[in-house]
Amino acid sequence: MTNERDEILMSQLADGELASDQANELLLNVLDDAAGRERLKQMLRLRQTTVGWRNRQPERPILAAVDRPGAFRRDRVAWRMGGLAVAACVGGLLVLAGIWATGWLGSPVRPLHQWQIAPAPDAPTGLARVTPEQMRQVAMVFALHESVAGPLAWYAADDQTIRVASARGTEGGRMPIAVLLKLDPMNPGAAAQTLVIVCREQQPAVIELPSESPDRSGLRIYLVPRTVNGKVEMQYAIAADGDSSQAVQSSIAGQRRIGLTETLLGQLALGDKLLNVEATAWPMR
């Protein structure tokens, strides 16, 4: 006959929480005790009933990306005013390619908020859809940047900055995926800003877009896209910095399946302003 102390030990044994010497002693005690053996069996069976829960894993990988601006900047290239030579080179290539004439991107630092995604003909009112022509242009711009800078892990451009990260190892062989992030202020009349990003499938892209003007927050963007049936399933975390420090003011995170029609990722609250963050994405091969 087992007492309560023995049963507490059995419970611990079933949970793998008993030291080996105590476990051995307990097992020796129940060897000749049928009731004890039965009780231990019940404890083990009960433990077994919940094993499915304890082993449950996220259905998709969760991104735990650390914000390390120092390390990040060491091997990443930011093309801003200081990088005019490279930008001019790319700009020249763009001119040669005739993209300038299309009036869409013009130069690599032309404000992208002027770019409007076409309304989707079969989508509910308010949704927009990327056109084949726009897809072609993003592919061309990315290819041109790669022709200058070599294989890229990612490319990101807003209306003032182009940033690229060189590919390391086999990164450059992964499928490029285009992501358009639209930051749409909910204030009437305020213009939306579009970020053009090209990153690699299943390769985390950690992109910092510091604030370039007092009326805009810096953004830190983490993306891990992958393709599923021609669509892009993307893990994302987007944080907006406060005005005067690196303190995060607002952030969103999650995972969505994204296609050519704008999908709402969430809302960033920036002071008294609210930004809808919407995305379109497509694999580039």
How big is the CA angle at 65 (ends 225 and 82), to the nearest 5 degrees? 85
- AA identity, residue 51: V
CB 153 within 8 A of CB 167: yes
Question: Considering the complex, what minimum distance in angstroms separates the CB of residue 240 from another protein?
Answer: 12
**DSSP for residue 19:** -
The upper half-sphere exposure of residue 95, i.e. CA atoms within 13 Å in the direction of its Cβ, equals 7
Residues 6 or more apart whose CB falls under 8 angstroms from that of 214 comprise 243
Q: Are strands 219-228 and 205-209 parallel, antiparallel or unpaired?
A: antiparallel
* CB nearer to another protein: pick between 34 and 66: 66
Residue ranges binding another protein (CB under 8 A): 4, 7-8, 11-12, 15, 17, 42-43, 45-50, 52-60, 62-67, 222, 235, 237, 239, 248, 251, 253-255
* CB nearer to another protein: pick between 7 and 129: 7
Tokens of 23: 């476990």
Question: Considering the complex, what minimum distance in angstroms separates the CB of residue 234 from another protein?
Answer: 11
Question: Considering the complex, what minimum distance in angstroms separates the CB of residue 171 from another protein?
Answer: 18
* CB nearer to another protein: pick between 11 and 114: 11
Question: Considering the complex, what minimum distance in angstroms separates the CB of residue 228 from another protein?
Answer: 14
Query: Exposed (0-12), middle (13-18) or buried (19+): which is 152, by Cβ within 10 Å?
Result: buried
* CB nearer to another protein: pick between 11 and 261: 11
Question: Considering the complex, what minimum distance in angstroms separates the CB of residue 239 from another protein?
Answer: 7
Helix (H, G, I), strand (E, B) or coil at 51: helix
Strand ranges for the chain from DSSP E: 76-79, 118-119, 128-129, 152-157, 162-166, 176-185, 193-200, 205-209, 219-228, 231-241, 248-258, 263-270, 273-283
Question: Considering the complex, what minimum distance in angstroms separates the CB of residue 100 from another protein?
Answer: 39
Question: Considering the complex, what minimum distance in angstroms separates the CB of residue 197 from another protein?
Answer: 18
* CB nearer to another protein: pick between 66 and 85: 66
Question: Considering the complex, what minimum distance in angstroms separates the CB of residue 4 from another protein?
Answer: 8
Tokens of 51: 């094993």
Q: Compute φ and ψ for 18, nearest 5 degrees.
A: -105, 135
